[in-house]
Structure 1
Amino acid sequence: MYEDKIILITGGTGSWGQELTHKLLGYKPKEIRIFSRNEYAQVKMQHAFENDPRLKFIIGDVRDYNALLAATRSADYVFHLAALKHVPVCEYQPDEALKTNVSGTENIINASIVNGVKKVIDVSTDKAVEPINFYGMTKSFGERLMIRANSLSKTTKFVCIRGGNVLGTNGSVVPIFKKQILEGKEVTLTSKEMTRFFLTVSEAIDLLLKASEVAIGGEIFVMKMNACRIVDLINVLGQHFSTNTTPIKEIGIRPGEKLHEVLVSDHEAPHTLKYGSQYYVILPTHASNKLRDNYKGLKKCSFVKYQSNDVLMSPSEIFKMLKEGGFL
């Protein structure tokens, strides 16, 4: 699928982008374009990939339509990873989140259609489901724009994927907790009742690639994900990295933060199908006949809602997840 193809990755210098680049290089693409704003991060990535000639680094911002128009020219596939993601930052600077996460997504859609990109894969988040914070709202808008974009072009297909918290990415809690424990400090936690979905970077990229390969346009792919109480996660880290009991300080829920995250809402559940053993696929309420026919053999999901406090990992399962993620 990707052999001799040109691929654009927005926000490509982040954890997702670098792992995606590693895996895509194995498919022998003609060129992978890394589009981002941070020149230092690009130089670091260029060295990390030993100046692979298939990588082309492009300084640009998704807010700049003309920059995207140039970046998508002759591209076959676009992976849209760029976003402002920090919940409190988006709460306090909503205008900036809107420019990047909504206007930037519109720019991706329009530039991809003009340049005849085959498929655009948008990376979304559980926070886009029943959003209570501005970040989640912008990502929800982004999903709607992407799904609707399938009606704007007969040649360019658009699909979304939803994930939870990815271990080790920028802003991930695990490195923060680990640092606090190793320094003998109190571990700060917003609430002991809080639960979250987690997946490794490798799992996240597998979902991304799966969606890019099988999607025909208009779907939202969701991975079946493990979830746990954050306090249990801290305790597992504390048992591994300290001989003493780990002190935990509750600091209260931050602006726009939920106790539990949702990957599939009760409104979406009736349109959600089981896709193999690892995925769900959400169809739009007014799915085209082509889209319905493509998935007519799949069974509907049995849940009313897919929420992070439904089934929780045991301490041994959390340990296994952290070990597989390279944190233990």
Structure 2
Amino acid sequence: MNQSNQTSRTDNGKGLNEQSGILVTGGTGSFGRAFVKEVLRLYPNIRRLVVFSRDELKQFEMAQEFSLNQYPGLRYFLGDVRDRDRLRRALNKIDVVVHAAALKQVPAGEYNPIEFVRTNVIGAENVIQGCLDTDVKQVIALSTDKAAAPVNLYGATKLCSDKLFIAANNFAGRDLSFSVVRYGNVMGSRGSVIPFFLRKSQEGCLPITDPTMTRFNISLQEGVEMVLWALAHAWGGEIFVPKIPSYRILDVAQAICPTCRYEIVGIRAGEKIHEEMITTSDSYTTVDLGQYFAILPTQGRYTLEDYCAKTGAVPVKPGFSYNSGTNDRFLTVAELRSLIREHLDPTFAVEP
């Protein structure tokens, strides 16, 4: 999925350049940190790059790696997407927003539902209103596979957030677009299964929720590249979905600790056995862009036919779905081990 650096800017004027003003909500999270790192690599003299988050310690730690002295356009801005006034202040001189702030732990959402609503739904609306009231020209919001046919509170809040961002295109009233990027489990992100298994393997036992469970897999770098691509190519109103491999939970366990004992503990509240990113109901407005799918809005600035004519996209077949359990590409045990070494621990090795 590697993209050329040129994909961050296209001839239509979309995307990023040295004169961009960017705000990243959740900027100290796993994605935010990786995105900021890549933007600074591409554009070290970028005019303005605001890291917006509520964690002062993470901002302090991040500033040790990306200092204001080295990157004059970089700003660390304490705030919460729940606070519309603070967010509005952070949007000063910003023309591109990448919205990555969210509460995302599934069990926590089942136990604390209103907190997830306040951050993931009300926070999304605050971002939208702030962008409408300022000079922002483009917004990309991060979503999750759990937003497709959700069965948990986290997924339901992210589906609601997706709907809010897509609908915002209908009343922007100017040169402002909102699009969504939806992808699966990010390898190595905080709270994800692979780092958890790596820690538990030291105890000689891995807890398996369900032996048939599958998940999509994407690296942080691939997620960053996808957002840069979306910034350069989005029309507004799309939900972009990457074509990525799946893995079986038992293959992850085998890759990490083949000698460990496995304990079947049952799925957690709100979990699925398999994840979806495109449902059969979505198929009627979904197109294939080659490297990505795009779920198009049912109403808005353009038709599916116009989108396909101008982008070369091809509509998927009616009834198509994109499911981690029926995916046509699964990572092998050897590939999983290689990815762990590449993205998580260069010294990782399985004892013979």
State the TM-score, normalizing by the size of structure 2: 0.88
Match in the other structure for 2:340:
322
Please tell me whether residue 252 in structure 1 is matched to residue 266 in structure 2: yes
1:111 corresponds to 2:127: no
1:290 is displaced (CA, Å) by: 6.2
Offset of 1:274 from its aligned partner?
A: 1.2
Partner of 2:46: 29
Q: Does the 8 Å CA contact 1:198/1:226 hold for their aligned counterparts?
A: yes
Does residue 8 of the first structure (1) align with residue 23 of the second (2)? yes
Partner residue of 1:274?
288
Equivalents in 2 of 1:265, 1:219: separation in Å?
15
RMSD: 1.5
- Residue of structure 2 in register with 1:42 after alignment: 59
Counterpart contact for 1:261–1:307, Cα < 8 Å: yes
State the distance in 2 between where 1:246 and 1:33 align.
44
Q: Which moved more, 1:314-323 or 1:5-14?
A: 314-323
| Aligned position for 2:163 | 144
* Structure 2 residues without counterparts, runs of 5 or longer: 1-15
How many percent identity over aligned positions? Answer: 38
Structure 1 residues 114-147: Cα deviation after superposition (integer angstroms, max 9, x where no partner): 0020101000000000000000000000000000
Q: Which residue is equivalent to 2:148?
A: 129
CA contact (8 A) 1:62 1:108 kept: yes
Q: Displacement, 1:273?
A: 1.1
Structure-1 separation of matches of 2:54 and 2:272: 30
Q: 1:79 aligns with which of 91, 95, 98?
A: 98
The residue identity in structure 1 corresponding to 2:194 is V
Distance 1:92 1:227, change over 3 A: same
Q: 2:79 aligns with which of 60, 63, 86?
A: 60
| Structure 1 counterpart of 2:191 | 171
Q: Tell me the TM-score normalised to structure 1 length.
A: 0.94
1:233 to 252, 261, 265: 252
Tell me how many residue pairs correspond in the alignment.
321
Contact 1:218–1:291 under 8 Å retained in 2: no
Structure 1: which 5+ runs fail to align? 240-244
Q: Residues 180 and 186 of structure 1 are in contact (CA less than 8 Å); yes or no, is this contact kept in structure 2?
A: yes
Deviates more, 1:292-301 or 1:151-160: 292-301
Shift of 1:287: 4.4
Residue 88 of structure 1: which of 82, 107, 113 is its match?
107
Task: Give the corresponding residue for 2:299.
Answer: 286
Partners of 1:318 and 1:179 lie apart in 2 by: 16
